[in-house]
Structure 1
Amino acid sequence: MWCHRTSRREFLLGSLVVLGGCSTWDKLNMLVLRQVPPQEVEPYPRQTRLVGDLAVPFNMHPVVLESVGLVTGLRGTGSDPKPSPQRDALLSEMHVRGVKSPNRLLASGNVSLVLVRGVIRPGIQKDDRFDVEVRVPSQSETTSLRGGYLLQTNLKELQVLDNAIHSGHTYATAEGPVLVDPAADPKKDRVLCCRGRILGGGVALKSRPLGLVLRDKSIHDAATIEAAINRRFHTFDRGLKTGVARAKDDQYIQLTLHPRYKDNVHRYIAVLRSVALRESETERIERLGVLQRRLMDPISASRAALELEAIGKPAIEVLLQGIQSPDPEVRFYAAEALAYLDDSRAAAPLAEAARNVPAFRAFALAALSAMNDVSAAEKLREMLDLPSAETRYGAFRALWAMNAEDPAIRGENLRGQFSYHVLDTAGPPMVHVTRSRRAEVVLFGRDQALQPPFTLEAGNQILVTCREGHEMTVSKFAVNEPDQKRVVPARVDDLVRTIVELGGMYPDVVYALQQAKACGALASRFEVDALPEAGRTYSRGEKAAQDQKAAQEAAGPGALAAHSPLPDLFARTESKPSEDEVPRGGGSGSRNDPGAETSAKPGPFGALWNRLRGHSAE
């Protein structure tokens, strides 16, 4: 929520100049925590002030990086780009990289100029990966990017001025195979065929700093905030204990991301802003009593839990009372705060919330993944067997974030193409693929058979056939290469491995699996990014709902009940198209959008991509 006091906003925006001419990479984003209606909250001791009373977050907005790139390996579906600033920029880059005869290469029909776009999340660290989107310009004659590979390109902040592209510093690089909607037909769905995604294809070249900006300049207040935060949070740098906050001047405090919050940066900032500036032991005990009463009220529980988490270990006993509450909402918020304090007693109530309350699922799983605890890992392993697709895959992702080498989910990297995990689970068989964060295939159930007859394509060069029996033939036909053929058991595991063995990439594997499901060869459930979702509504009792509505109406339209910040672990990368994103002559009909909890037979793969882009294909 943005601050609505005009003078304060103008002052904070003006502070960008004071901070030394920051680029749009460093634009100020003010996050004001939503407050519980005052009549529902017991007042604190008057002397208690929090960090959030003096400072607002800095650099908490997503940053868009762009570039012009070259996709190769298109086998006649590319085009020679028309004269434009984008073509000039690409030719300049090709000359810098020493490409011989660049104009001849562009005219070959096997490459295409593409516009590359990546979104850098707040708190990203050096060498972290992020998704990259590619699309052809509106004037392009390219018919499909399927089977293409984006050559390495530098991602920058770009602006077009005076019919020329002006770029800033290079913040990341991008490269990798382009994943195009497998269901898209080049003759009917040219829009979908001319755009795609490279999962984890972007690599950050530098860490993106987090910070706090004081509302009013004050060396004293900056030092006070630094000391207050460092009493609560620290990290280790080369074995030395170091506080996470450092006052750089009289208005800016630089923050280091604490490892426990690496997948929940917004919660980290919310907790830091809930730290008391200074407080005696007596005052803290008094405030703990107030927070205990607020925690037991579902309407104020989320905000109270954040402040208790900010207090740290002295608040654990109060939070333990919360997980004994008969109210599911109170139990969840108390357990969530306990998890970020790494208390093992949070595991059971969080697992209960993840299983039974969809509104809490994403937050509960993210909190479990933040724990360094055996009981939390065991609860996540148990959820791998559940019938709910988003619960079991959410548990998988949480386990992977906790410990990628956990024996229950440990996978392998297939020839550098993607992560491949075959799990021994007791639940119904399921095949899961991703379209965000990283290229990944997960088999829930080891021996998943394919039912003949079927014929599948895996990209532009690989064909899979099976007429009858329990064996299939995987063949590769490539120009200027000898034909290759493999006869392997008709199982999903063998299909995936053989496609990669013959040179196939992640998009080829996904394409083959989608076809197998569509033609009935794959009996197992097939899911794409079955992620737990935020934004779902938890239904309280009628009396509680009426009380909350009355409290919010009395407090005014700007007062909303606090809630847990969205964890980055399950955040979806979305973008909306601009007017120039549709190639000429392209179009496709709209499609339905199946959710994560779909039936065993999923809808068209393209509909899931539409959800990613935030619109229907037109």
Structure 2
Amino acid sequence: MTRRASLSYRSSLMRSLSVCAALATLSTMVGCMSLITLPGLPGRSKPEEKKTLKELADDDTPDLISKFTHPFGLDYVKVEALSMVTGLSGTGEDPPPTPQRAAMMAEMNRMRVENPEKVLASPDTALVLIRGMLRPGIQEGDRFDVEVRVPSKSETTSLRGGWLLSARLTELAVLGGQIRQGHVLGVAEGAILVDPSANEEDGTYATRGRILGGGVAAKSRPMGLVIDDRYKSVHLAAQIGKSVNDRFYMRIDGHKRGVANAKNDELIEIAVHPRYKDNVGRYMRVLQSLAVIETGREQQERVELLREQIANPLTAASAALQLEAIGDDQAKEILLQAILSSDTEVRFYAAESLAYLDETAAVEVLAQVARDEPAFRVNAMAALSAMDDLAAFDALHGLLSVDSAETRYGAFRSLWAMNPHDPLVAGENMNGNFTLHQLNVEGPPMIHVTNSHRPEIVLFGKQPSLKLPLLVDAGTGVLINGMQGQELVVSRFRTGSEADRRVIQPEVDELIRAIVELGGNYPDVVQALQEANKQGALKSRMRVDALPQSGRKYSRPEDVKEGETQEEESTFDLATPLPDLFGRKSR
């Protein structure tokens, strides 16, 4: 090697070593910076707003919204109040001097009640505690049930016949050793429904009750998606909002408006889409099954995978939700193929998603499942009620005539949710106390009353006449006498005045109307019917809250041993959430 070549080689080597040293130093600095900015450690820097979705994602799983967010607003919110019940026939009390009494006195003074001490001391009044549960997605003006009970150590013996005065419901919290009230979230008022079988000796049961639909929401509850801490980004929030709005929107005053509103780098507020108003849990599951950003090729690859997954009972539920979220013609075509499967689960999950896409092909499968498969009945009926389709209406109408009480009433509630003004289910307003529905349908005659959701009485089919003789004490001051002749005498007794009477034929609907005409309310009518049923006077079946049950077991064919039948009451984790339409928490 010449001297010049040697010098050139040595110079080149030194430059290379210098570059390597610089790179090593830079690598060390970057390593230290990475350590300093690891999520969750002090000194963490705010994520760059310009990071792409691929940079934010840290694995190869599909970039669905569920990967970056979790829902909020899906819990029930407890609201409470203190108020007074009037109209008791000497079963109330003068409450002892407690903070609750003082609070009630302050409220009565605020409302300018005359002689509050005298009113509170009357044996016809009682101090009560009220509780309600605001469901997820409840809107201002929506109704919900409230529970009423007397405080501990109260001497009130019964709330039967009582009327709850208007009360403002708030959230309560203990702060600094004191009970604090939040904003007013609802108001409650109405007639109290007490267990008709409870008497004054049954202290616990006679001194508590419910007001069906007695609460009215004062505010709409917010709900939405919260971006997980490590993904917080204004860019990502905007992209999620766009993905949601591209798929779900509403028409408001003639304008198209998306359901999502990105508030900041971590919160996307979501409005409830009308299609999912009675199944908010499913709505959020579908939203989280949307892709945040996806090329046409990536979506096609995912769709082909979903085509395989929906054919497998173990993965069909998740695949159906993703296809429902995609919602295009190709997704519908895959779901339409799946409802032809020989597997009941695959058919059900595919049909459920098709129903929320308003595809008529779902109706036949869901109607069959609602009739024959108790484990899927709740979700099948809720899906049918979400459709804007005459075929779905006809299918539910057909279920009104089957033998199963819960299937018949479940179909009625689904039809009412679909269109409460339809003549079939609209019913007759009974002086604002409740609604009477007389359904001209086939099947065995049945009387249904509710203990939740809304005050209503549903008469399925032509009702046989009441069996006489009959003597029933129904509610406060209401007496039904059918001990002589072939007629009923319905009387209402009031202190200091003559009794009002109605003479009627021994028909169920006439009895209901007579009680209401004499000033009776929903609890009075329910008690009259239940007492008549106990005495054997009702020839129809009578059911209370015959709602389709959740949590039932569906045994796959390969799991059923020869000679065994499926149990209807066993627990089973259905892969789609329980619809709010049939929820048993106070609505």
**Which interval holds the TM-score relative to the shorter structure?**
0.7 to 0.9
Q: Is 1:522 the counterpart of 2:535 in the alignment?
A: no
Structure 1 distance, partners of 2:551, 2:574, is: 13
Structure 2 distance, partners of 1:58, 1:438, is: 27
Partner in structure 2 of residue 223 of structure 1: 238
1:271 positional shift: 0.3
Larger relative contact order (C-alpha < 8 A, sep ≥ 6)?
Answer: 1
- Aligned mate of 1:398, from 414, 417, 435: 414
Structure 1 distance, partners of 2:185, 2:411, is: 32
Q: Is 1:448 the counterpart of 2:468 in the alignment?
A: no
1:346 aligned partner, one-letter code: A
Deviations 1:527-565 (A, max 9, x none): 0000001111110023699xxxxxxxxxxxxxx987011
Structure 2 distance, partners of 1:238, 1:92, is: 44
Structure 1 distance, partners of 2:573, 2:483, is: 60
Partner in structure 2 of residue 539 of structure 1: 555
Structure 2 distance, partners of 1:561, 1:138, is: 38
* Structural mapping, 1:564-583, within 5 Å: 564-573=576-585
- Aligned mate of 2:190, from 149, 170, 176: 176
Partner in structure 2 of residue 192 of structure 1: 205
Partner in structure 1 of residue 52 of structure 2: none
Secondary structure at the counterpart of residue 489 of structure 2: strand
Structure 1 distance, partners of 2:362, 2:485, is: 51
Q: Give the conservation status (yes or no) of the 8 Å contact 2:439–2:461.
A: yes
2:325 aligned partner, one-letter code: A
Partner in structure 2 of residue 145 of structure 1: 159
RMSD over aligned CA atoms reads 1.8
1:286 positional shift: 1.8
Q: Give the conservation status (yes or no) of the 8 Å contact 2:551–2:574.
A: no
Structure 1 distance, partners of 2:61, 2:120, is: 69
1:469 positional shift: 4.4
Q: Give the conservation status (yes or no) of the 8 Å contact 1:265–1:567.
A: yes
Identical aligned residues as a percent: 53
Secondary structure at the counterpart of residue 426 of structure 2: coil
Structure 2 distance, partners of 1:161, 1:109, is: 35
Deviations 1:482-522 (A, max 9, x none): 32111111011011111001000000000000000000001
Structure 1 distance, partners of 2:196, 2:262, is: 51
Comparing 536-545 with 292-301, greater Cα deviation is found at 536-545
Structure 1 distance, partners of 2:191, 2:574, is: 41
Partner in structure 2 of residue 258 of structure 1: 273
- Aligned mate of 1:214, from 227, 252, 257: 227
What are the ranges of 5 or more consecutive residues in structure 1 without an aligned counterpart? 1-9, 12-44, 546-559, 576-618
Structure 2 distance, partners of 1:405, 1:127, is: 18
Structure 2 distance, partners of 1:507, 1:487, is: 21
Comparing 397-406 with 153-162, greater Cα deviation is found at 153-162
1:430 positional shift: 0.5
1:88 positional shift: 1.3
Comparing 164-173 with 502-511, greater Cα deviation is found at 164-173
- Structure 1 residues 131 and 286, CA, compared in 2 at 3 Å: closer, same or farther? same
Partner in structure 2 of residue 433 of structure 1: 449
- Structure 1 residues 287 and 544, CA, compared in 2 at 3 Å: closer, same or farther? farther
Deviations 1:259-284 (A, max 9, x none): 00000000000000000111222222
Length-normalised TM-score, structure 2: 0.86
Q: Is 1:563 the counterpart of 2:575 in the alignment?
A: yes
- Structure 1 residues 475 and 350, CA, compared in 2 at 3 Å: closer, same or farther? same
Structure 2 distance, partners of 1:163, 1:321, is: 61
Secondary structure at the counterpart of residue 361 of structure 2: helix
Deviations 1:167-207 (A, max 9, x none): 111010000000000001212x1110000000000000111
Secondary structure at the counterpart of residue 307 of structure 2: helix
Structure 2 distance, partners of 1:363, 1:523, is: 32
Structure 2 distance, partners of 1:117, 1:173, is: 11
Partner in structure 2 of residue 614 of structure 1: none
Structure 2 distance, partners of 1:300, 1:467, is: 63
Q: Is 1:156 the counterpart of 2:161 in the alignment?
A: no
Structure 2 distance, partners of 1:65, 1:568, is: 19
Structure 2 distance, partners of 1:561, 1:163, is: 41
- Aligned mate of 2:396, from 372, 380, 388: 380
- Structure 1 residues 287 and 162, CA, compared in 2 at 3 Å: closer, same or farther? closer
Secondary structure at the counterpart of residue 199 of structure 1: strand
Deviations 1:113-162 (A, max 9, x none): 00000000110001000000010011210000000000000000123567
Partner in structure 1 of residue 113 of structure 2: 99
Q: Give the conservation status (yes or no) of the 8 Å contact 2:225–2:269.
A: yes
Secondary structure at the counterpart of residue 173 of structure 2: strand
1:324 aligned partner, one-letter code: L
Length-normalised TM-score, structure 1: 0.82
- Structure 1 residues 531 and 561, CA, compared in 2 at 3 Å: closer, same or farther? closer
1:251 aligned partner, one-letter code: E
Q: Give the conservation status (yes or no) of the 8 Å contact 2:141–2:216.
A: yes
- Structure 1 residues 417 and 371, CA, compared in 2 at 3 Å: closer, same or farther? same
1:108 positional shift: 1.0
Q: Give the conservation status (yes or no) of the 8 Å contact 1:155–1:170.
A: yes
Comparing 284-293 with 45-54, greater Cα deviation is found at 45-54
Partner in structure 1 of residue 517 of structure 2: 501
1:47 positional shift: 7.0
Partner in structure 2 of residue 594 of structure 1: none
Structure 2 distance, partners of 1:219, 1:180, is: 53
2:67 aligned partner, one-letter code: D
Partner in structure 2 of residue 276 of structure 1: 291
2:250 aligned partner, one-letter code: T
Secondary structure at the counterpart of residue 427 of structure 1: coil
1:74 positional shift: 0.4
Partner in structure 2 of residue 333 of structure 1: 349
Secondary structure at the counterpart of residue 201 of structure 1: strand
Comparing 47-56 with 489-498, greater Cα deviation is found at 47-56
- Aligned mate of 2:84, from 61, 70, 86: 70
Structure 2 distance, partners of 1:492, 1:562, is: 39
Partner in structure 1 of residue 321 of structure 2: 306
Q: Specify the structure having the higher radius of gyration (Cα).
A: 2
Q: Is 1:357 the counterpart of 2:370 in the alignment?
A: no
